[in-house]
Amino acid sequence: MGDIDLISSSYALTKQGVFVVAMAVLVLLAFAILLSVVVLVHHLWSDRERRVNRERFEGAATFLAPYLVTTEEELSAAVARARAKFGDRAVGLVLRRARFDLKGEVASRITECLLEMGAVNELIRETKSRRDWRRVGGARGLGECGGEKSRTVLMDLAMNDPVGDVRRAAREGLLTEGHAQATQVAIDSFLQDLPRRAGWRRSFYARLASVASADLLDLIRSRQLSSGEEKLALEALGDAGAAAALPLAIAATRSREPELRATGIRVAGKLGGEVEFPLLLRSLEDDAWFVRAAGARAIEWMLGSRRIAAPDPATQRDATTLLGTRLDDGSWWVRANAARALSRAGEEGIVVLFAAAEGRDRYARDAALAALAMASLDPVRMARLREIAGAGGATEAAAVRAAAVRAREVPA
């Protein structure tokens, strides 16, 4: 009898346990379904909001575009109508984008409109948020707005905000107008908070070179930068076409550090002319391969940009001779750059390339064929190039076929 009672009790407990488990599964399933519905509704709502915001932005941009070059009264009236039709958010975003791209009196009028509609004050409130991402967004927005009120807040953020991303966004905003005090604060903030990533440092130097190249030149001359930072800053000046940086580039070519010499050569190739051409030729004999590669590349830039007339015969012979000797250099970069430079060196350069293409040195032949494949050749020389490449195998023939396609002699 006791065994039967025990079995009955166990059966009841098992049945109750199954019921509890089943109820738990049903609750979890209901919760999962509810959560899925919430996520789906949120996704649909967010997608609708994005679509509406995009339509409002595009509508406001189309509406305001004709008024951005009109008088202040007309622009203010147009902004008021656009706000009523498309909303403050869309109009503010359009004005900020336009303000970032435009300069002069029009930009000042846009800044006044942003102040009148309260967009600047709204962004200032964003910069006081406890959330880092909100402060970053506010700093970027203020940089687009411009004006003294925005500058004051950005200068404080650049020097005092505890988060690096916010300080970096504030520095970028300070460099949008080229204002002297704002630029100096951005430089001071950058020096005390040097970013770890080279990409961020390159971005700062590039922006500074584009809006205030004289300040970047002064920074290099002040010797506050390490050699690595000086290299990045000098590269930025060369990319920005700051002719005043040419003396610094020439001085860098005499540095004991090969990387700085290579940078000086590259910048001299971008900014220099006939006077600097012999300097580039001498760099082809440097001990460091990347200096030789930089020299060959700089010669190609200088010849390709037509910043110098055809060199005198003696210089032309020296150039083709030195570049020709670099076709069998131990570095692939030197060989490739020298071959491309020869393709820009006129008749004598093409002759040297064909001689290398028919030579026994495999590395020189590959570099010469690659350069000739991209050069503009007459039909006779193109046929000769195809013959040379055909004798060299399928890979070289494919390179020449690319040249023929480029010259539109055969179908692609």
Q: Are residues 255 and 324 in the same domain?
A: no
Q: Are residues 255 and 293 in the same domain?
A: no
Q: Are residues 312 and 254 in the same domain?
A: no
Examine residue 281 and state whether it is found in any structural domain, yes or no.
no
pLDDT digits (tens, 9 = 90+) for 237-285: 999 999 999 999 999 999 999 999 999 999 999 998 888 889 999 999 9
Instruction: Print the domain residue range for 355.
Output: 288-297+307-412
Q: Are residues 248 and 313 in the same domain?
A: no
**The two structure tokens encoding residue 218:** 């002064």
Q: Are residues 292 and 404 in the same domain?
A: yes
Spatial distance between the Cα atoms of 271 and 255, rounded to a whole number of angstroms: 19
Q: Are residues 336 and 412 in the same domain?
A: yes
Examine residue 198 and state whether it is found in any structural domain, yes or no.
yes
Burial of 176 (0-12, 13-18, 19+ CB in 10 A): buried
Give which of 333, 336, 278, 270 is closest to 305, Cα–Cα: 270
Q: Are residues 265 and 311 in the same domain?
A: no
- Token pair 């650049």 is at which residue? 158
Spatial distance between the Cα atoms of 220 and 224, rounded to a whole number of angstroms: 7
Q: Are residues 293 and 385 in the same domain?
A: yes
Examine residue 6 and state whether it is found in any structural domain, yes or no.
no
pTM listed for this prediction: 0.76
Collect all residues with Cβ–Cβ distance below 8 Å to 330 and sequence separation of at least 6: 289
- At residue 296, the pLDDT reads 94
Q: What is the pLDDT along the chain (412 residues), one digit of tens a residue?
A: 555 554 555 555 576 777 777 888 888 888 888 888 888 888 888 888 888 889 888 998 899 988 887 777 788 889 999 999 999 999 999 999 888 888 888 888 999 999 999 999 999 999 999 999 999 999 999 999 989 999 999 999 999 999 999 999 999 999 988 889 999 999 999 999 888 888 889 999 999 999 999 999 999 999 899 888 999 999 999 999 999 999 999 999 999 999 999 999 999 999 988 888 899 999 999 999 999 999 999 998 888 776 565 566 777 778 888 999 999 888 999 999 999 999 888 888 888 999 888 888 888 888 888 888 888 888 888 888 888 877 765 455 455 555 454 444 444 3
Q: Are residues 292 and 206 in the same domain?
A: no
Spatial distance between the Cα atoms of 330 and 319, rounded to a whole number of angstroms: 19
Q: Are residues 245 and 318 in the same domain?
A: no
Examine residue 245 and state whether it is found in any structural domain, yes or no.
yes
Examine residue 316 and state whether it is found in any structural domain, yes or no.
yes
Task: Give how many domains the chain has, as a whole number.
Answer: 2
Q: Are residues 264 and 222 in the same domain?
A: yes
Examine residue 104 and state whether it is found in any structural domain, yes or no.
no
HSE on the CB side for 155, CA within 13 Å? 14
Examine residue 223 and state whether it is found in any structural domain, yes or no.
yes
CB distance 122 to 100 below 8 Å: no
Question: End-to-end distance of the chain based on CA atoms, in angstroms?
Answer: 95
Q: Are residues 222 and 258 in the same domain?
A: yes
Spatial distance between the Cα atoms of 191 and 158, rounded to a whole number of angstroms: 11
Examine residue 302 and state whether it is found in any structural domain, yes or no.
no
